[in-house]
Structure 1
Amino acid sequence: MTEAPRKIQASLLERAAQVYDFDAHLRARSGAAPARPAPILDLEFGQPPETTRVPESAPIPELAPVPKPAPQSIHPRVAAAEASVRPLRMPTGGKSIAIDRAMLSEKGLLVPGAAIGALAEEFRLVKRHLLLTAKTVKLHDGDRSRTILVCSANTGEGKTFCAVNLAISLAAERDTEVLLVDADFAKPDVMRRLGGSDGPGLLDILADPRIEAERCVVATDIPQLSLLPCGTKSNTDTELLASDRTATLIATLLAADPRRIIIFDSPPALAASPAGVLATQAGQVMLVVRADKTSEGDLRQAVALLDGCEHIQLVLNAVSFVPGGRRFGSYYGQEDAS
């Protein structure tokens, strides 16, 4: 007797696709007709669902779930080999920091050279989406395609966690140099998370054209990853970002290395105005959505504030998965049963 096929319950991402419509304000402004919905990649199962219906709306940005981090470890031989093959790249200013791999693991961040796990695989998928979108942006925005703004609607939704992990993951690419910029001026956290200290940075360069940008860049012993602190706090941070100096600075940083990708860790869109201003300078926005916290209303408002950028991608953070489920990472730890 043939067993009847079981009905698969709609995933979290499929249900979200039936609710959110982030492009409505753009269509209303341009007078364009609603576009036909495209399949949404459901990373929980690794393939697109058969159908995705969004009533009277265009498709939402890509949703890529990021699981809660698990501790990682790096083998001493891997660390030694990495250091011998890829020496520390020093910026013009000669500043550099060594990043403690054990500290990265304790904070739930990706560890270069560690065994591949679920978190590493999820960020591999996230960066593939961003790199593919960058190719599209390059056709009409040139070098701006090499800039990514990481943002969230509210505080505590994991934007800096995702920005740091994205930077580490992108730095593993063979053809990139990554510059992670701390643009969260009220609560800078990038340098602290990586074991460094704040110093002259973005705000200082914007305020004083005499400061050479590359002299503020801090190299790290993670190959192909460098940092730019937020700099001296100012009461005119939004006005500095809105000046023509910002576009000139970004162009200068990109011209310094044709392989460089700039990642901006901005303040939350609903908490501070710099996020919306920076969005006008970025090739694309990675908007972090916390599964157990971000409301639909806050998400809609954040997307509206960031609409200065045409390409907004969503990353679903803090997703809980059932142990033993079909998730990335476990495959690499399986022994050959044959």
Structure 2
Amino acid sequence: MTVTTPKTTREPSLLERAAKVYDFSAHARARDDGPVAPVTPAAPVAPEPATAAPISTDPTFLAIPENLRAAVGEELPDDFYLPVDHGDIAAIDRGMLASSGMIVPGAPVGPLAEEFRLIKRQLLITKGRIAETDSADKARTILVCSARPEDGKTFCAVNLALSLAAERDTEVLLVDADVAKPDVLNQLGLSDGPGLLDALADTQIDVETLVIRTDVPHLSILPAGTKTAMDTELLASARTRNVLARLLAANPRRVIIFDSPPALAASPASVLAMMVGQVMLVVRADRTPEGELRAAVNLLDSCEHIQLVLNAVSFVPGGARFGSYYGQGGSQ
């Protein structure tokens, strides 16, 4: 996957810029004929330890090229993936992260971690620009979205949060704002509970008391909360801005990442886009038509800065990626 520069004008289009590393036409022509063969040779897959969990068959995970998935069990102690009881601090299931191909905190750096280092660096650069020209608080908010379901947005939101949490001077709050189909806590192996929607519905609730601290340094989670048919209306209310202000004020180093519903599948995404500093739009390179991408951008257009992340991308022949450097795509 890769990331574009911030959206400032409509020309050139996001896909025109993305076409520098991705042959969209080839995927579009073959969309009805089955999956597109990757341009680069398939990288060898390291053998899994006997105790490793089975690799996920979720379509979101399968969208990630094999050579960019996190390695499992590379020179790690047998108890590395086992959860540890830290009292009131929630233990993230590292074994579940590994089996889902996500970044595993504390594990050796692999290609996926390096890809998200590039992505987060661009987001942090944009954060600084927003702070200089707009609002310092607004600069600390990021919406992760997609056009359609199963494009990999939650996968990217969780990995982005894990990557940002590794920064020395940043605290990360990952908010599960996909209120109709929340999945963030499930991906992390955590138990669900009251969250964002509960704080929006009841003015007596201090949203900060619903934030879950985790055993990953600098990373906290806010669940979606109790489902309601009035989710979009709650998110569009003045209460949401008050709740957001409370979360930002609680920690001046906090960056808030919202995992939102797909823009073309549910209305909350366009509402949340009005309140954040930038949007990271995740696109399944092998299945998202340009028309749907443009429609999603239009719905999120209330946010000035939209960045595009291509998921399941085929790179041009000869393009150097991180797989070879980390011994997963050729000689070192």
Q: Give the TM-score, by structure 2 length.
A: 0.76
User: Residue 74 of structure 1 contacts residue 113 of structure 1 at CA under 8 Å; is this kept in 2?
Assistant: no
**Counterpart position of 1:123:** 116
Residue of structure 2 in register with 1:71 after alignment: 71
Residue of structure 1 in register with 2:97 after alignment? 104
**Mapping 1:1-338, distance limit 5 Å:** 23-24=9-10, 67-68=65-66, 69-73=69-73, 75-76=75-76, 95-139=88-132, 140-320=134-314, 326-333=320-327
For the residue of structure 2 that corresponds to 1:149, the secondary structure is strand
| Residues 142-164 of structure 1: per-residue CA shift (max 9 Å, x gap) | 21100000000000100000000
Structure 1 residue 167: deviation in Å? Answer: 0.2
- 1:194-223 Cα offsets, whole Å, 9 max, x none, are 001211000000011111111101111111
- 2:261 is paired with a residue whose SS is coil
Paired with 2:146 and 2:91, the residues of 1 have a C-alpha distance of 29
Letter in 1 for 2:73: S
Question: Structure 2 CA distance, aligned partners of 1:111 and 1:42?
Answer: 31
- What residue number does 2:50 align with? none
Q: Is the 8 A contact 1:78 1:113 kept in 2?
A: no
SS of 1:289's partner is strand
Structure 1 stretches lacking a partner, 5+ long = 1-11, 25-33, 46-64, 89-93
Tell me, yes or no, if the aligned pair for 1:179 and 1:263 is still in contact at 8 Å.
Answer: yes
1:51-104 CA deviation, whole Å, 9 max, x = no partner? Answer: xxxxxxxxxxxxxx9744243336547998xx9xxx97xxxxx84311122211
Aligned residues: 282
Measured after TM superposition, the shift of residue 123 of structure 1 is 0.4
The one-letter code matched in structure 1 to 2:278 is Q
Change (3 A) 1:254 1:175: same
Residue 320 of structure 1: how far off its partner (Å): 3.9
Aligned 8 A contact 1:180 1:227 in 2: yes
Q: Which residue of 1 aligns with 2:25?
A: none
Structure of higher RCO (CA pairs closer than 8 Å, 6+ residues apart):
2
- How far, CA to CA, are the matches of 1:274 and 1:137 in structure 2? 23
1:324 and 1:218 mapped to 2: Cα distance? 44
Structure-2 separation of matches of 1:42 and 1:270:
23
Which deviates further from its counterpart, 278-287 or 217-226?
217-226
Alignment partner of 1:245: what SS?
helix
- Secondary structure in structure 2 of the residue aligned to 1:71: coil
- Asked if the contact 1:286–1:312 (Cα under 8 Å) also holds between the matched residues in 2, the reply is yes
The CA deviation string for residues 230-273 of structure 1, in whole angstroms up to 9 with x for no partner, is: 00001111111111111111111011111100000000000000
SS of 1:262's equivalent in the other structure is: strand
Taking a change above 3 Å as real, the CA distance of residues 120 and 323 of structure 1, as seen in their structure-2 partners, is farther
- In structure 2, what is the Cα distance between the partners aligned to 1:311 and 1:78? 43
Q: TM-score scaled to structure 1, two decimals?
A: 0.74
- The superposition leaves residues 109-149 of structure 1 with CA deviations (integer Å, 9 ceiling, x where unpaired) of 10112122111111000000100000111121221100000
Structure 2 Cα separation of the partners of residues 23 and 290 of structure 1 = 23
In 2, Cα distance between the equivalents of 1:66 and 1:100?
Answer: 20
% same residue: 62
Q: Does structure 2 conserve the Cα–Cα contact (< 8 Å) formed by 1:117 and 1:330?
A: no
Where 1:129 maps in the other structure, the secondary structure is: helix
Whose Rg is larger?
A: 1
**CA offset at residue 42 of structure 1?**
8.8
**What is the root-mean-square deviation of aligned Cα atoms in Å?**
3.5
Distance 2:166 2:64 in 1: 18
Quote the Cα distance in structure 2 between the aligned partners of 1:265 and 1:159: 7
Distance 2:291 2:318 in 1: 34
> Which SS does the other structure have where 1:141 is aligned?
coil
Q: What SS does structure 2 have at the residue aligned with 1:315?
A: strand
Structure 1 residue 277: Cα displacement = 0.2
SS at match of 1:192: helix
How far the C-alpha of 1:23 sits from its partner, in A, is 3.8
Helix, strand or coil for the counterpart of 1:214? Answer: helix
